[in-house]
Amino acid sequence: MKVETPLLVPVLAALPVCACMAILGLPAFGHANAVAFRTLYFSACLAWLIPLALLQRAMWRRAWRWPGMALALLAASYGMSILNALLGQRLAISLGLETGYRWNELLRGLDSCWLALIAFCAVHAVAVYYLSLQSMQLQLAQAQAAARDAQLRALRLQVNPHFLFNSLNAISALVSAEANREANRMLGCLSDFLRATLAHDGRHEHSLAEELALLDAYLDIEKARLGERLRLTMKAGPDVLGSVVPYLMLQPLVENAIRHGIAPLAAPGRLDILVERAGAHLLVTVQNDGRPPAHGGSGIGLANVRERLRHLYGDDQQVDAGWTAEGRFRVCIALPMRHLEVAAAAAAAA
């Protein structure tokens, strides 16, 4: 066990042991000699607690095994008890009760002192074990949270640069074609989107209103590229805009819908985004026109969204994707419905 505990722990562990010894000594009150002996044993035990605690801590620091440590402590406290008994005989001689040391009686009557020292070691061990277990659990939880955070961050970063470079490429094409007005318009849209992503504070979740605004800024860029070839509806139910969704959850789905669904079509294509409430869940549906590809595979965008939702909500979420009977591609996401204020309160409480 490598976790360091404060020096206050042995002091606190000594308190109950000292209290017990003091209480056991109470009946001796009034008998002058008995009080003297009790006081001697008590002070001696108290003094022995210091080297004993230091010894115990040193063994922990060197990561001794439990049996070895127990034997060493028993031996050490046994030695201390014998020295205590010796001190007791010395007191008896000086009080004139005895005339010399009785070596054969030295090993008798050790129980109270030895027991007190052993009790201290046990209380100390339990306290330190409990504290280090707690701090290890905390560290473990922090490490897990950090790993999850890093993973989510990495998944999120896959999203951004991809279309940033696509958009810059489109602007570059417009400049080459001397379509100044369109190039400028697109720069404006791209700046809007960047401003919106830069305003984000790094949380993994935000409100649906923020998400839809971000999506709208992104869609402006796509509208500038595709013009009337993109027919768009984006609708939300009356009670959902304040609910919590993962940051940039919709953008990769919509980017897929446009790039793989609508952009390859010769005719204008429809993209319909609908967010509504279904009991305790928020349902997000993205549907787009398109042609089923010759080869299967749902692309990196969808895999990314699945992974992030699994990280954030465990099993309380669902992503369905596939072609409908009308020949449209449809992604339907269900996630737990939580309101921003409630989520913030829960985070503050945790």
Partner 1 sequence: MSIRVVIVDDEPLARLAVKVRLARRDGFTLVGKFGDGDSASEGIAALKPDLAFIDVEMPGKTGLAVLAALAPAHRPMAILLTAHDCFAVQAFQLAALDYLLKPVDDERLDEALDRACQAFPYRGQGRPFPLPAPKARTFSVRVGSRTVLVPVADVERIEADGDYATLHAQGKTWLVRERLHNLATQLDPRRFHRVHRSSIVRLDLIAELRPLTNRDALLRLRDGSVLRASRTYMPALAEALQHLNRNPQEAT
Residues forming the site for partner 1 (CB under 8 A): 180-182, 184-185, 187-188, 191-192, 195-196, 199, 201, 206-207, 209-210, 212-213, 216-217, 220, 223-224, 227-228, 231, 233-238, 241-242
Task: Please state the closest distance from residue 241 (CB atom) to partner 1, in A.
Answer: 5
Q: Give 139 or 180: the residue with its C-beta nearer to partner 1.
A: 180
Amino acid code (one letter) for 72: A
| Distance, CA of 346 to CA of 302 (rounded, Å) | 29
Smallest distance from partner 1 to CB 192, Å: 8
Q: Which is nearer to partner 1, 121 or 189 (CB)?
A: 189
**Crossing angle for the helix pair 111-176 and 66-95, nearest 10 degrees?**
140
Q: Is 273 helix (H, G, I), strand (E, B) or coil?
A: strand
> 3-state DSSP helix/strand/coil percent for the chain, to nearest 5?
65, 15, 20
| Pick 192 or 307: Cβ nearer partner 1 | 192
What is the token pair recorded at 58? Answer: 């040193």
Q: Which is nearer to partner 1, 17 or 245 (CB)?
A: 245
From CA 180, how far away is CA 178, in angstroms rounded? 5
Q: Within 10 A of 274 (CB to CB), how many other CB atoms are there?
A: 15
- Nearest distance, CB of residue 279 and partner 1, angstroms: 19
Considering beta carbons, is residue 116 or 258 the nearer one to partner 1? 258
Least distance CB 249 / partner 1 (angstroms) = 15
CB of 209 to partner 1, least distance (A): 4
Kindly state the smallest distance separating residue 208's Cβ from partner 1, in Å. 9
Q: Spell out the residues 6+ positions from residue 316 whose beta carbon is closer than 8 angstroms to its own.
A: 335, 336
Contacts of 175 (CB under 8 A, 6+ apart): 183
Question: Minimal CA–CA distance to 186: which of 197, 170, 198, 165?
Answer: 170
Which residue number, 63 or 198, has a Cβ lying nearer to partner 1? 198
